[in-house]
Amino acid sequence: MTQRTPIIAGNWKMHNTITEAAALVTALTKAGNKNHAEIIVAPSYTSLHIVTRLTKDSEIQVAAQDVHWEDKGAFTSAVSPIQAKDAGATLTLIGHSERRSVFGDTDEILNKKVAAAMRHGLKVIFCVGETLQEREAGKTMQVIEGQLKNGLANFTEEQLNGIIIAYEPVWAIGTGKTATPEQAQEVHAAIRAYLAKTYSDKFAQATRILYGGSVKDTNVDEIMAKPDVDGALVGGQSLIAEKFARIINFN
Ligand code: 13P
């Protein structure tokens, strides 16, 4: 861990009814926060409003899981940044691997989504990561650099100030197969080096890089101990209050 304020974020994906989301977040408001981490939850759109209401007097911040690139229009089923903000989100994930692989979000689309989120003052958690095949072909950093270069194209360092990067190796998501702390550190350090080369050392040092992929109460401590790991983006275990509370209060 470093001087950078740690972030523990829970991506609830397509889980939880409004009632379940309310119960979960209410439990989390009592979880404590011994590391003074930034705590973020990303509920489904249907629960954004209630979760925002229930976290009003807490440290928990609320993120959308995605936003559309237009402010409004004929885009059946999509949610615009204005709507996500209106429902209470102050951040949004962009480029989660499930958006890329299941819904076909391309780098170009993601770049437009980042622009839309920033235009409306939503803080962006931009997700990157390689598949197992890409890792085994030795292409991990080539893939990630491409995702960063194209997804964040045309923005200046000033515009990207405050952006959060999440490294989520696709092979570790929902598989129970976690990257080792060393594998995570290696990629995080390479991402930071890329940010330094592309923007500035100051920007690279200030940017938080989260690890995601089968983070659990039992492995969070060793992952968070790595110098370039500034936080965790948690899927499955963020749905279980006691587990996520333990992750928030990592050692
Ligand atoms: P799991 O923690 O369930 O592997 O999911 C990780 C993830 O995709 C978070 O965005």
The pLDDT, as a whole number, for residue 2 is 54
CB contact at 8 A, 231 and 37? yes
HSE, CB side, 13 Å, CA atoms: give it for residue 27: 15
**Predicted TM-score (pTM) of this structure:** 0.97
The pLDDT, as a whole number, for residue 170 is 95
Mean pLDDT of 122-145: 97
Percentage of residues in the chain having pLDDT higher than 90: 96
Q: How confident is the model at residue 3 (pLDDT cuts 50, 70, 90)?
A: confident
Q: Which atom of ligand 1 is nearest to the CA of 214?
A: 4
Ordered by start, the domain boundaries in the chain are 7-248
Q: How confident is the model at residue 1 (pLDDT cuts 50, 70, 90)?
A: very low
Which pLDDT tens digit goes with each residue over 57-101? Answer: 999 999 999 999 999 999 999 999 999 999 999 999 999 999 999
Written out in words, the top-level CATH class of the domain with range 7-248 is: alpha beta
Q: Which letter, b or e, does each residue of 25-36 get, where b requires 16 or more Cβ atoms within 10 Å of its Cβ? A: beebeebebebe
Measured from CB, residues less than 6 Å from any atom of ligand 1 are 11, 96, 168, 173-174, 212-215, 233-236
Mean pLDDT of 193-197: 98
CA 161 to chain centre: 16
The pLDDT, as a whole number, for residue 88 is 98
Is residue 36 part of the annotated active site? The answer reads no
Give the closest residue (by CA) to ligand 1 atom 2.
235
